[in-house]
Amino acid sequence: MDNLNYVFFEEFKRLDRLCGELYGEQRGISKYIDDMRNVPRYDCRNISGWDADLEQLVRLRHIRNNLAHTEGAFQEEMCIEKDIDWLKEFHRRVLSQSDPLAMLHQYLKAKQQMAGGKKHKQNQRGQNDITNWKIGEIDEDKSTEKGIYWVVALLVMLAAVLSAALGIVMLFA
């Protein structure tokens, strides 16, 4: 392919559309980036590759914006083949729920289940007094609840998109 910029631009639009469908709005990748930035550091540090993915999404969005808004940008080399490959791989990861926000959801769910088991054991021993809790655990529980609601909504939207896609495939089969 003669100009990688065109291929890059199309792959970026493809990923942006997918994220937009999941969020139910047009600014898909920007919303994804905003959500990543809003995750508390103590949660995202447990997700492998979080910072690298966030940095790459921001960098690639910047390239896309330059291509879209700078006159003559498509004639200059703005991206490389690795950028296109990364966009394709990230698209695959979103579909397979192995992207950073999906991984965060899985982590928070497991963390909540573990915390639920501990609280249940404390209740059995009669040690459920709130004065025994650490303040950090209380704050963490609140952020976990917010994160879980967001991720559940994301998963419901993903299920709807996949269901619609399957319906279309079945229609043409």
User: What pLDDT was estimated at residue 132?
Assistant: 32
Distances, alpha carbon 154 to alpha carbons 62, 77, 82, 150, in Å: 25, 35, 28, 6
Torsion of CA 108, 160, 25, 147, to 10 degrees: -10
Cα–Cα distance for residue pair 136/76, rounded to 1 Å: 50
Are 45 and 52 a contacting pair, CB within 8 Å? no
Token code pair at residue 124: 């059995």
What mean pLDDT is predicted for residues 44-55? Answer: 94
Does residue 129 surpass a pLDDT of 60? no
CB atoms within 10 A of CB 43: 17
Instruction: Report which of residues 63 and 167 the model is more confident about.
Output: 63
Cα–Cα distance for residue pair 89/53, rounded to 1 Å: 11
Q: Please state which of the ranges 57-61, 96-100, 118-122 shows the lowest mean pLDDT.
A: 118-122
Q: Nearest to residue 86, comparing CAs of 52, 110, 62? A: 52
Does residue 106 surpass a pLDDT of 80? yes
CB atoms within 10 A of CB 108: 22
Question: Is the whole model's pTM more than 0.85, yes or no?
Answer: no
The model's confidence at residue 3, banded by pLDDT at 50, 70 and 90, is confident
What angle do helix axes 4-23 and 28-37 make, rounded to 10 degrees? 70
Does residue 42 surpass a pLDDT of 80? yes
